[in-house]
Amino acid sequence: MKLNVALKAFIAVVCGVSLLSCNNSNNYKNTSRATGWDINSDEGGFQYNTDYKEQEAAPGLVFVEGGTYTMGRVQDDPMHDWNNTPTQQHVQSFYMDETEVTNKMYLEYLDWLKRVFPPSEDNYKNIYNGALPDTLVWRNRLGYNETMVTNYLRHPAYAEYPVVGVSWIQAVEFSKWRTDRVNESQLEREGYIKEGAHLTDVNASSTFNTETFIHTPSKSYGGNTEISQGGDEAQDRLNNTNDAGNPVKKVYPGRESGLIYPEYRLPTEAEWEYAALGLVGIRNYNTYRGRKKYPWDGQYTRNGDVKRMGDQLANFKQGDGDYGGIAGWSDDGADITAEVKTYEPNDFGLYDMAGNVAEWVADVYRPVVDDEFNDFNYYRGNVYTKHAINEDGTVKVVGTEDVVYDTLSNGKLVARNLPGEIAQVPVTDEDTYMRTNFTESDQRNFRDGDKSSSRYYQPFQEVDDPSKRMYNSPTYDNFSYASEDSTAASSGITQRGYDKEKRTTLISDEVRVYKGGSWRDRAYWLDPAQRRYFPQDMATDYIGFRNAMSRVGSKSLQKNKTARSN
């Protein structure tokens, strides 16, 4: 009996100490180390999310822990290409799509555009039409592929196959849309936005945009606060006021809330190559055990495991007229693209980082990666912008009549912005004055100007003849329309132009890198370090894409830290 009493007393003491410890910990977190004032006080003052743990993987994404690696190191380079010079690079941790973006995922995007911006209305017709994949990429002058032309995008048999016929520009617009839909869903789930608003209250003049919600939340959903403040949590905060009648806590959560995800985007070339290699699988302390030719271990494209001996590890062209192998055993299971997750993932848990479809990445193509200037999160393609400001000092939100269309090289129109977004303008000399890290808005040609990019480069002599410039590429933007009005322009092209100048290259600021082999490629292109380029406004039947998202906070996941400390 005495033993039981003593045991109970001991447990009570332990629990009390634990509770006291927890209370002290919470008090510590909610007390400012700068002023000693209370944080998150019920009376008001500074409010902050002190319970934030770490970024969670957004829908579809898996974590890729960053690190250092040798970018551009290929094992097969018979042509000794100038664009595969090995460089040592470091990539920050990030998240990446587990699979390529599928037809079903892209059709959800098209469905949303069609509901919100009906193509039956002239003002919105080019928003939907500009997002449609080019299904005619399947046609071949000496081949019968009409089944893919009419079925590949929309038939449920191909629902989980990677979307193709999508240009780089279209992939970027999908990424923006996905960012807004995921954050809208997150805020609705957390009780800030009216429940079900994404289905019942959204139209062309009432949409959600992440940046608009952060910078001018009262203008979200076209200024309808019944939607943007319609959640239970928002209402509770509106009702919880101080003596002055003001809400104690912010009604609109910003970045400081930790609820809003960073943007979905295309991965940089450095990120994509690092993720594809999956070097974490051959890591030994701070070194790599050997080298990897493909995303999987070994130097061959066939499986070496006893149970699946001889099976192909990716979907690629094995030889002339051989897109899958002989029917039956040893067939790779596909002739065109394959359903995602058909093959084993790499050591980061990413599927089809070799074969199936090649993938767009964010970078503008240049033959040389300039590691002498930067070896951290390398990326070429920065064009810096800022929010457009109205005369009254507020940010300018794009209205239904303010949509701007870009004319592609083939004459098609693509919406540059959508209603509800914040209008963007280039940064100015005033913004860059006395800065050392950037000097102008468009940085695509940094350390790659006309002089030093010329085959006839002379340090003290201008190259007057454009045909002698290395990046003297074709242009096809000379189109004439019935009117300069964007709506009237939708009536069609009246005159097409063709480039007739002498040109020295296809490389320009409008060509983007794509990585990885595809169902049309030989094994040579399965090496993650191989790189090619293609015009950003054109599409093919063998290039798709997947999204990435930057990680905020620590380099490693908390569970990894715990495991290492133990």
- The answer, yes or no, to whether residue 243 has pLDDT greater than 90, is no
Strands 283-284 and 287-288: antiparallel
Nearest CA-CA partner of 471 in 431, 508, 522: 508
Q: What is the SS3 assignment for 252?
A: coil
* Residue 119 in domain: no
* Residue 75 in domain: no
DSSP string, 375-405: -BS--S--B-EEE-B-TTSSBPBP-TT---E
d(CA 518, CA 521): 5
Instruction: Please give the residue that has the higher pLDDT: either 319 or 146.
Output: 146
Q: What is the SS3 assignment for 7?
A: helix
3-state secondary structure 407-423: ECCCCCEEECCCCCCEC
Joined together, the tokens standing for residue 420 give 């509800």
How large is the average pLDDT for residues 221-225?
94
Instruction: Please give the residue that has the higher pLDDT: either 240 or 475.
Output: 240
565's CB contacts (< 8 A; 6+ apart) are none
* Residue 32 in domain: yes
How large is the average pLDDT for residues 302-306?
69
- The answer, yes or no, to whether residue 13 has pLDDT greater than 70, is no
Give percent of the chain with pLDDT exceeding 90.
59
Strands 358-364 and 287-288: unpaired
* Residue 31 in domain: yes
395-432, pLDDT tens digit by residue?
999 999 889 888 888 888 889 899 999 999 999 999 99
- The answer, yes or no, to whether residue 566 has pLDDT greater than 50, is no
441-492, pLDDT tens digit by residue?
999 988 875 454 555 544 444 445 655 566 778 876 556 554 445 444 455 5
Instruction: Please give the residue that has the higher pLDDT: either 329 or 79.
Output: 79
How large is the average pLDDT for residues 143-161?
97
**Range with the poorest average pLDDT among 61-65, 206-210, 286-290, 347-351:** 286-290
Longest dimension (CA), the chain: 102
Average predicted confidence (pLDDT) for the chain: 85
**Range with the poorest average pLDDT among 25-39, 282-296, 400-414:** 282-296
* Backbone Cα Rg of the chain: 27
Q: Exposed (0-12), middle (13-18) or buried (19+): which is 410, by Cβ within 10 Å?
A: middle
Domain count within the chain: 1
| pTM, entire model | 0.89
pLDDT band at 565, cuts 50/70/90? very low
The pair phi, psi for residue 145, each rounded to 5°, is -125, 20
Joined together, the tokens standing for residue 463 give 């190259």
118's CB contacts (< 8 A; 6+ apart) are 124, 128, 204
The DSSP code for 316 is: -
The total of other beta-carbon atoms located within 10 Å of residue 451's CB is: 14
* Residue 243 in domain: no
* Residue 536 in domain: no
How large is the average pLDDT for residues 169-189?
97
481 strand-pairing partners:
493
Joined together, the tokens standing for residue 277 give 């290699």
Per-residue pLDDT at 285: 62
d(CA 85, CA 74): 9
Per-residue pLDDT at 174: 98
**Range with the poorest average pLDDT among 134-143, 304-313, 548-557:** 304-313
Range of the domain at 26: 1-38
Per-residue pLDDT at 286: 64
DSSP string, 54-121: -PPPPTTEEEE--EEEEET--S--TT--TT---EEEEE--EEEESSPPBHHHHHHHHHHHHHHS-TTS
* Residue 29 in domain: yes
Contact by Cβ (8 Å): 551, 93: yes
How large is the average pLDDT for residues 300-321?
76
- The answer, yes or no, to whether residue 529 has pLDDT greater than 90, is yes
Contact by Cβ (8 Å): 127, 113: yes
Please report, for residues 271, 298, 299, 405, 556, the alpha-carbon distance to residue 279 in angstroms, rounded to integers and kept in the order given. Answer: 13, 12, 14, 42, 16
Per-residue pLDDT at 525: 93
Q: What is the SS3 assignment for 14?
A: helix
Nearest CA-CA partner of 277 in 92, 88, 82, 69: 69
Per-residue pLDDT at 498: 77
Contact by Cβ (8 Å): 131, 170: yes
How large is the average pLDDT for residues 39-43?
85
- The answer, yes or no, to whether residue 290 has pLDDT greater than 80, is no
Contact by Cβ (8 Å): 331, 324: yes
Give percent of the chain with pLDDT exceeding 70.
83
Per-residue pLDDT at 348: 95
- The answer, yes or no, to whether residue 103 has pLDDT greater than 60, is yes
DSSP string, 130-183: HHS--GGGG-BTTB--HHHHHHTTTSGGGTTSBP-S--HHHHHHHHHHHHHHHH
d(CA 373, CA 472): 24
Q: Quick one: CA dihedral 115, 120, 121, 123, positive or negative?
A: positive
- The answer, yes or no, to whether residue 320 has pLDDT greater than 80, is yes
* Residue 22 in domain: yes
CA dihedral 526, 347, 366, 510 (to 10 degrees): 90
